[in-house]
């Protein structure tokens, strides 16, 4: 509300003056930002030193945690006609929750008002996460409000000034090209409008393919596009979208980008292409979205088009596909895996549970060990119905006996299988992992040959790998520990000397005595480091499953590694990840006849297996062993089943 009021200013120094306040504008503020705190002295004013980065951080960073019950603020200024670029290089505050977690806010003004908020941050971010933000003018305000007594180091940030953009968008005249939102992959600034006028040769049509698209804003309904958006052909696009295509019926198209005054995102990366309207995808299949895919991906049971148009009107191949009632084709090894892949659920009808399994009311099958474990594994609660209040744990060599004689399962250390970072980057154009996302992943290099195998850290001195990595050939003794180097905390193969990476040699290699280098049965090895590693944010052990643990059919698990990303391809530089499912053993034996043993587990791609279990901790489900080709559909990857070897691991190294 605005009002007119005369205000008299008391005399100061040698003058007396008065002024008229013609209006007052009120904005809402987050109550956590303006709450009363015990310490309001944490306030800093900084001015940009040209294009040279200026560093600032929370009090005590990184050696001591920031204070609790405090309010800190940093006012950042630049020269007139400049804008500011702010980057958080390290960010670690308490986890985001509804119980009043610590909170960092960035504002595109010097007042903490909600309509000018750029971003709200909490939790822990990996170094690979993009935390670069741009202002619309020459000021920014950063606030930190703390309420918890958890010990976190806080953040370190840098900022610098750069000239304000004189224009945005423009004319693009070519057969093809690329363009992106301002400052991509950094966050685009508030209050900006860009228009691209694209023109290809007159005898062609033009289409725009968005390879990355992130225009998300808090509390904005999906599809409403009332704030930040891209507009093409009169249609607005916003939110987070997978790759999509917009096309024109002529050789011209106009793309308009708008951001309002609050909450920005990383924006978009796009390319424009000319095409012949009579044959828009030469030698390929065109999705209804306009995207072109290889013809062999049509009707293969996998949705390669985001709109499923490549799987419509198909005739399923009964040899390796199941026909849903709605006529969609699905891989045969997804039948009766307790996951509804057909929209009508027909792939899970008439299924019986194997022996020693519990059948949920919804038809899902679970290992009996997951019944009455105080966790809704069925999804309908039926596995936790009719249970005793306390589940008695039988005392075995894998449990810990308390003073009262009762036993608890303590077969793994408390810190195993946990990540340091609570936030993960959004994957664009691949399956790159974040730094520290898989802190137990190890890269094994053979002398003069670079990365050859992966391994998993299970203790400060021991790792698990595959026995087939250490088979001697005519020219090299891979069984000799001295020819190997292990890199822990590694994310990028080209940065083996980066801070946080620890290099170790091998002191001992223990391959399973029953390993068969023809069938790859018993394909497991234990590796002792020449000296223990120091645990850190990027180096931690994975948990080992108990000998009787079961990874049920249909369970989603993760594969990681630097292996080939495609058949006959080159190894990846950045650690790769992919989500797969455990395949029914009978189905796996059908797909790979006379090749599967009880010590093997099947997944539908290749790589080492990490399985999320209770409390969010990761357990190692298997060790990469073999597969027919690289990530071939309907040719599952095969892994050494780790629970089978739990006792052997304990006997060999005491872990």
Q: Determine the 3-state secondary structure of 330 from DSSP.
A: strand
H or E element: which one contains 649?
Answer: helix 646-653
SS3 483: helix
CA distance 255 to 199: 11
Please say if 523 is a catalytic residue.
yes
| Sign of the torsion formed by the C-alpha atoms of 440, 441, 445 and 450 | negative
Examine the residue annotation and report whether 468 is marked as an active-site residue of this protein. yes
Q: In angstroms, rounded to a whole number, what is the distance separating the alpha carbons of residues 229 and 239?
A: 8
Could you tell me whether strands 18-21 and 5-8 are parallel, antiparallel, or unpaired per DSSP bridges? antiparallel
Task: Given the residues 102, 347, 523, 604, select the one marked as catalytic.
Answer: 523
For the chain, the farthest-separated pair of C-alpha atoms sits apart, in whole angstroms, at: 100
17 is catalytic: no
- Strand ranges in 181-263 using DSSP code E only, listed in sequence order: 192-199, 205-215, 229-232, 235-237, 239-240, 244-247, 252-259
Q: Backbone phi, then psi, for 629, in 5-degree steps?
A: 80, -170
8 Å CB contact between 129 and 119: no
Return the DSSP state at 508.
E
Is the CB of residue 461 less than 8 Å from the CB of residue 486? no
Active-site option among 187, 398, 468, 491: 468
Assign 369 to helix, strand or coil.
helix
Q: Which residues contact residue 205 at a Cβ distance below 8 angstroms, ignoring those fewer than 6 apart?
A: 247, 248, 249, 250, 251, 274, 275, 276, 277, 280
Q: Which two tokens stand for residue 56?
A: 């600032």
DSSP class per residue in 420-449: S-S--PPP-SS-BPPTTSSTTEEEEEETTT
Mode of pairing for the β-strands spanning 54-57 and 117-121: unpaired
- In DSSP terms, 561 is beta-bridged to 576
| 416 Cβ contact list (under 8 Å, min separation 6) | 458, 540, 541, 542, 543, 544, 617
629 in Cβ contact with 608 (< 8 Å): no
Sequence-separated (6 or more) residues with CB below 8 Å from residue 286: 280, 292
Kindly tell me the burial class for residue 134, based on how many C-beta atoms sit within 10 Å of its own C-beta (0-12, 13-18, 19 or more): buried
Distance CA 365, CA 551 (A): 12
Quick one: tokens of 545? 């499953």
User: Which residues are CB-contacts of 385 (< 8 A; sequence separation ≥ 6)?
Assistant: none
List active site positions.
Answer: 468, 523, 605
């Amino acid at each position: 509300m605005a009002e007119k009021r005369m205000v008299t200013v008391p005399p100061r120094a040698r003058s007396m003056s008065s002024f008229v306040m013609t209006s007052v504008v009120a904005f809402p503020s987050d109550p956590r930002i303006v709450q009363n705190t015990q310490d309001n002295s944490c306030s800093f004013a900084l001015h940009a030193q040209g294009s040279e980065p200026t560093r600032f951080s929370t009090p005590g960073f990184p050696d001591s945690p920031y204070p609790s019950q405090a309010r800190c603020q940093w006012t950042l200024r630049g020269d007139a006609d400049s804008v500011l670029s702010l980057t958080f290089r390290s960010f670690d505050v308490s986890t985001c929750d509804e119980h009043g977690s610590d909170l960092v806010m960035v504002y595109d003004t010097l007042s903490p008002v909600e309509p000018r908020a750029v971003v709200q941050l909490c939790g822990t971010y990996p170094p690979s996460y993009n935390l670069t933000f741009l202002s619309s003018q020459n000021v920014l305000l950063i606030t930190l409000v703390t309420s918890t007594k958890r010990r976190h180091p806080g953040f370190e940030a840098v900022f610098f000034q750069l000239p304000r953009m004189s224009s945005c968008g423009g004319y693009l005249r070519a057969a093809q090209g690329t363009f992106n939102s301002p400052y991509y992959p950094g966050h685009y600034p508030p209050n900006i409008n860009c228009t691209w006028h694209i023109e290809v040769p007159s005898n062609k049509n033009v289409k725009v393919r968005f390879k990355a698209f992130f225009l998300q804003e808090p509390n904005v309904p999906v599809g409403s596009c009332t704030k930040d958006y891209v507009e093409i052909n009169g249609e607005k696009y916003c939110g987070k979208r997978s790759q999509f295509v917009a096309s024109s019926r002529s050789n011209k198209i106009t793309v308009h980008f708008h951001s309002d005054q609050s909450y920005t995102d990383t924006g978009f990366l796009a390319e424009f292409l000319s095409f012949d309207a009579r044959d828009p995808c030469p030698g390929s299949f065109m999705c209804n979205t306009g995207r072109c895919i290889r013809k062999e991906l049509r009707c293969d049971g996998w949705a390669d088009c985001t709109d499923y148009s490549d799987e419509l009107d198909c005739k399923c191949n009964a040899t390796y596909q199941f026909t849903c009632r709605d006529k969609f084709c699905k891989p045969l090894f997804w039948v009766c895996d307790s996951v509804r892949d057909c929209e009508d659920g027909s792939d899970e009808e008439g299924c019986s549970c194997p022996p020693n399994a519990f059948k949920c009311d919804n038809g899902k099958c679970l290992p009996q060990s997951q019944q009455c474990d105080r966790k809704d594994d069925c999804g309908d609660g039926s596995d936790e119905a009719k249970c005793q209040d306390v589940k008695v744990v039988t005392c075995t060599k894998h449990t810990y006996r308390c003073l009262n004689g009762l036993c608890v399962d303590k077969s793994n250390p408390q810190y195993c299988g946990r990540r340091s970072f609570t936030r993960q980057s959004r994957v664009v154009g691949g399956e790159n992992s974040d730094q520290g996302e898989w802190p137990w992943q190890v890269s094994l290099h053979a002398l003069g040959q670079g990365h050859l195998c992966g391994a998993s850290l299970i203790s400060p001195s021991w790792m698990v790998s595959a026995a087939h990595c250490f088979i001697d050939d005519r020219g090299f003794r891979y069984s000799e520990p001295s020819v190997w180097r292990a890199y822990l905390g590694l994310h990028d193969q080209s940065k083996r000397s980066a801070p946080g990476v620890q290099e170790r040699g091998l002191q001992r290699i223990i391959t399973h005595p029953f390993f068969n280098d023809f069938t790859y049965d018993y394909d497991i090895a234990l590796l002792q480091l020449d000296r223990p590693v120091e645990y850190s944010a990027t180096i931690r052990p994975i948990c080992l499953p108990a000998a009787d643990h079961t990874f049920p059919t249909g369970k989603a698990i993760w594969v990681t590694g630097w292996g080939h990303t495609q058949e006959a391809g080159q190894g990846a530089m950045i650690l790769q990840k992919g989500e797969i499912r455990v395949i029914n053993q009978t189905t796996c034996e059908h797909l790979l006849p006379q090749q599967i043993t009880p010590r093997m587990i099947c997944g539908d791609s290749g790589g080492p297996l990490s399985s999320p279990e209770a409390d969010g901790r990761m357990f190692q489900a298997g060790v990469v062993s073999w597969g027919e080709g690289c990530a071939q559909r309907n040719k599952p990857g095969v892994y050494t089943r780790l629970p089978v070897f739990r006792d052997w691991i304990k006997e060999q190294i005491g872990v």
